[in-house]
Amino acid sequence: MKAHLLDLTAHLAWADAVALHAVAKVPAALEAPDVLERLDHAATVGLFFGKLLRGEPLAPPPEGVPAFDVIRAKARAAAEGLHAWAEGAAEADLAQEVTVPWFSDPPCVLTAAQALTQALMHAQHHRGQTMTRLKQLGGRSVNVDYIVWLWKGRPEPRWEG
């Protein structure tokens, strides 16, 4: 199970880095509240799941939507945190149960592998929406499919530049 989770977390980092570069090229997107809010939401959820998997305390995120550069740093921290956790996890760690605290009725108890997969799927859902908005705002959508990442030989994310 671990091999595919490593692939998926590595894809998350690459796809987010590519998508954020695409957003950075579109001034209207950098000023669009819904775009920034969505990017921040995706990064925040990724950070939360990383903390959950590492057993760290969760605190409510700060009020308001930060600037794009702050969001990009959050997205990078989230992606790197999830991938690092997957790299260090033994099969037994993946099977451990975690409780997702922001769902209470009924309690949401998942294995760590399922929680990690949820974080990845959540990011994928919102990445698609960001690409749609980018096109609406005059930008160019980029193909960040998992299969494209495989075709390209599993490239590392390029966050800077």
Partner 1 sequence: MLDVLQELYRHQAWADAAHWRTVMDSGAARADADLKARLVHIHGVQQVWLGRWQGVDLGFPKPEDHASIEDTLHFAQACHAALTAFLSLKRDADLAEPVTYHNLAGEAFTQPLGDLMLHLPMHSQYHRGQTAMRLRQLGAPAPGTDLVTWQRNGRPAPEWP
Q: Where on the phi/psi map is residue 99: left (φ > 0), alpha (ψ -120 to 50), or beta?
A: beta
Q: Binders of partner 1 among 1-40, rule CB under 8 A?
A: 1, 3-4, 7-8, 11
CB of 157 to partner 1, least distance (A): 17
Instruction: Give residue 160's Cα distance to chain centre.
Output: 17
Interior angle at CA 154, CA 146 and CA 97, nearest 5: 65
Answer yes or no whether residue 122 interacts with partner 1 by CB under 8 A: yes
Give CA–CA dist 54/31, Å, rounded.
Answer: 34
Provide the minimum distance between the beta carbon of 22 and partner 1 in the complex, in angstroms, as a whole number: 14
CA dist 101 and 115 (Å) reads 12
Query: In whole angstroms, how close is the CB of 97 to partner 1 at the nearest point?
Result: 12
User: Which residue among 10, 127, 157, 159 contacts partner 1 (CB under 8 A)?
Assistant: 127
Using the rule CB under 8 A, is 118 a contact of partner 1? yes
In the range 130-149, which residues lie near partner 1 by CB under 8 A? 131-133, 145-147
Q: How far is the CB of 137 from partner 1 (least distance, A)?
A: 14
Among positions 77-116, residues that touch partner 1 (CB under 8 A) are: 100, 103, 106, 108, 110, 113-115
CA dihedral 95→100→106→107, nearest 10 degrees, is: 60
Rounded to whole angstroms, what are the CA distances from 20 to 34, 72, 129, 131?
A: 15, 7, 13, 10
Using CA atoms, how far apart are residues 22 and 16, in angstroms rounded to an integer? 10
Q: Which residues bind partner 1 (CB under 8 A)?
A: 1, 3-4, 7-8, 11, 100, 103, 106, 108, 110, 113-115, 117-118, 121-122, 124-129, 131-133, 145-147, 150-151
